[in-house]
Amino acid sequence: MASLAIQRVKREFKEVVTSSEAENSQIKLEMVAENLKHLQGEIKGPPDTPFEGATFILDILIPDSYPFNPPKVKFATKIWHPNISSATGAICLDILKDQWAAAMTLRTVLLSIQALLASAEPDDPQDAVVAKQYKETPEIYHMTAKFWAEFFAGGNPSSYSADLRQKVKSLCDMGIQSLDAVRALSHYNWDATTAVESIFS
């Protein structure tokens, strides 16, 4: 069983490296450990989304039962998206769970995750706070997602990023870690007073 997993990953590596998507640097796959069981994926944020221009690192673990069971994939880069946990990077995507099929590959998984960034499913959330913001105040969601992409994933700065950075800085000046500051501000729709209260209460 384990040998099938490794042999298939070897072949899939070739598939990803020689793919047109890799050529356009949309997706990337690298080894973390020599045994091919722990990989690192990389996807580019799709155009016309808050994630455009950003690069996201994915942590990929290959189970011994691969390809009969899906790879375990989560975001290593922080991201603000209804179907991805802003705290742990866990992904809610059907093909990584009950809709997995043995003919799927790491290439199709990376492309599916990239597609998820372009089409969120707020009714099947992994992060309830993000999903609520996405549904109730879409413009704040868009701004926050874009800010996270810029702050954590090298995305392009937007017209409001200076304002938001200033808010983050004002919290950091109170001795709050920048990650905690970004999280609290994002959670409370960038209302600094509520965000600070939530941290010190």
Q: What are the Cα distances from residue 50, in Å, to 28, 97, 148, 156?
A: 21, 26, 9, 9
Measured over the CA atoms of residue 19, residue 20, residue 24 and residue 26, the dihedral's sign is negative
Which of 97/169 has CB closer to other proteins? 97
Compute the least distance from the CB of residue 113 to other proteins, in Å. Answer: 19
Q: Which of 18, 25, 35, 69 binds other proteins (CB under 8 A)?
A: 69
User: Tokens 């009950």 label which residue?
Assistant: 98
Q: How far is residue 83's CA from residue 72's CA, in Å, rounded to a whole number?
A: 15
Work out whether 7 is an interface residue with other proteins (CB under 8 A): yes
Using the contact rule CB under 8 A, the part of the chain among 22-30, 65-73, 81-89, 124-132 near other proteins is 65-73
Are 175 and 197 in contact, with CB atoms under 8 Å apart? Answer: no
Compute the least distance from the CB of residue 42 to other proteins, in Å. Answer: 22
**Binding-residue total with other proteins (CB under 8 A):** 17
Nearest Cα to Cα of residue 78 among 149, 141, 7: 149
Q: Which of 18, 68, 115, 177 binds other proteins (CB under 8 A)?
A: 68
Q: Which of 51, 100, 134, 147 binds other proteins (CB under 8 A)?
A: 100
Could you list the active site residues? Answer: 92
Work out whether 35 is an interface residue with other proteins (CB under 8 A): no
Q: Which of 31, 87, 102, 118 binds other proteins (CB under 8 A)?
A: 102
Q: How far is residue 118's CA from residue 112's CA, in Å, rounded to a whole number?
A: 10
Q: How far is residue 157's CA from residue 155's CA, in Å, rounded to a whole number?
A: 6
Distant-in-sequence, close-in-space partners of 110: CB < 8 Å, separation ≥ 6: 16, 21, 27, 29, 41, 43, 58
Q: Which of 47, 103, 159, 162 binds other proteins (CB under 8 A)?
A: 103
**What is the contact surface with other proteins in residues (CB under 8 A)?**
3-4, 7-8, 11-12, 65, 67-70, 98, 100-104
